[in-house]
Structure 1
Amino acid sequence: MDAKSLEELLYIEGEQMKMSEKQRLILNAAIEMFAEKGFASTSTSEIAKKAGVAEGTIFRHYKTKKDLLLSIVMPTVTKVVAPAFAKNFSKEVFEQDYPSYEVFIREMLNNRFEFVKKHFPVLKIFIQEAFYQEEFRNVYKQVFNEHVYDKFKHIIEHFQSTGELRDLPADTIIRTTISSIIGLIITRFLLMGEEMDEELEKERTIQFILYGVKQKR
């Protein structure tokens, strides 16, 4: 991650992460190494080498590698990236008027793709470690419930009232929509990369959300 990208992470929404220059170097190195190799496969000696500091410098601040993940990466997640993710997401996507649910899905999908592309090194850590770190999952739940859920539900209920969407529980439609988009993001950025025809798969995902897999008659 270059200096400009790191600065964007540290100053999102006007909040500055307070840390020494060595801590900044360690943060940058940890983000790059965790994103490249994963948390479990990265050693503190590798982080120290990449940061240009002694390994003992890391352990003066953090007792274990997990403490490093939680004490450096997690504050970036909880105080800066996650709230900004949800607030910007809510403002850019949910505070708009849409003529149809399909148009709404397109906007949401394209918005999240651009966000992932911009902040991929850190988001890759989130995606990888969410399966193993309960702290990460709790952050996701909190920011989603605080900034996104009610507005998402309102949009669904609106299009149900117009007859466009089936009379299913809003939570079911939310879960189906989000899981389809997240699945596409994981496939694109973690599994297939640029081998995927991104625009074609976006369109297929949108059609799947709207119509499922049943043959039209």
Structure 2
Amino acid sequence: MNEQQWLQELLKVNGEEVKLSDKQAKILEAAIEMFAEKGYAATSTSEIAKRAGVAEGTIFRHYKTKKDLLLAIVTPTVTKVVAPFLAKEFVKEVFGNQYKSYEDFVRALMKNRYEFVKKHLPLIRIFWQEIAFHPEIKEQFQMIFTENVYEKFKKIVEYFQSKGEIIDIPPDSIIRMTITTIAGFLYTRFLFLPEKEWDDEGEMERTVRFLMHGLTKK
């Protein structure tokens, strides 16, 4: 999905497009491209204006600061894309199924997150780059995770612990290890080394096996 398609999808509310001026749409489109390519801190409003084909002053007529421009992109990403996905599709597709093992659950979780990041990469790249530097973005994501995912995740962990399949340590630790292992693969695959020739299926399977069995030779 390219940035133009992203913008059209992003600016729909209840199926109807938000009315933007042509210049405002170009500014948002250029900002998505620039923030995804260079990061927020390394991108100037003059560069965004140049790519959008508008005067720099035009940006500040629509957005008071560069931070406001970032939040105009990221906030809808969280509230219209990430939140609904976590609350509905993600929970239904991953947490709504019965699994024979925790390994099967992890495999389904990784595959789901892989497809999600691959589909929404331009804005996910911005979101991933900036979440550590902007508390309001991190707080939004934490709230969404806590309200929609955490308790369901914890129940799955506790269920497989009760069956003796996974070790008896705090569920929060298992959740953390699972998330950071999967996130580490996705970050490396799509952001850190995207140009590498990846065997995605093989690497995901190796990641699942590492998470379940570690590096100890059996």
Give the TM-score, by structure 2 length: 0.91
Q: 1:62 is matched with which residue?
A: 63
Which structure 1 residue ranges, 4+ long, deviate > 6 Å from structure 2? none
Secondary structure of the residue aligned to 1:166 is coil
Q: 1:213 is matched with which residue?
A: 215
Which ranges of structure 1 fall in alignment gaps of 5 or more residues?
none
Which shows bigger deviation, 206-215 or 47-56? 47-56
Q: Deviations over 1:122-147 (max 9, x none)?
A: 00011111121112211221110011
Q: 1:110 is matched with which residue?
A: 111
Picking from 183, 203, 215, the partner of 2:205 is 203
Shift of 1:97: 1.0
Secondary structure of the residue aligned to 1:143 is helix
Q: Within 5 A, what are the aligned runs for 1:7-156?
A: 7-11=8-12, 14=15, 17=18, 19-70=20-71, 72-87=72-87, 88-156=89-157
Contact 1:86–1:143 under 8 Å retained in 2: yes
Contact 1:17–1:76 under 8 Å retained in 2: no
Q: Within 5 A, what are the aligned runs for 1:180-195?
A: 180-195=181-196
Which ranges of structure 2 fall in alignment gaps of 5 or more residues?
none
- CA distance in 1 between counterparts of 2:123 and 2:144 reads 17
Shift of 1:24: 2.2
Shift of 1:67: 2.0
Q: Deviations over 1:61-119 (max 9, x none)?
A: 2222112112x113313321221231221121111111111111111101111111111
Paired residue type of 1:43? S
Paired residue type of 1:45? S
- CA distance in 1 between counterparts of 2:187 and 2:76 reads 21
Give the TM-score, by structure 1 length: 0.91
Compute the RMSD of aligned alpha carbons. 1.9
Q: 1:99 to 1:14 in 2, by over 3 A?
A: farther
Contact 2:8–2:17 under 8 Å retained in 1: no
Shift of 1:21: 3.5
Which shows bigger deviation, 3-12 or 48-57? 3-12
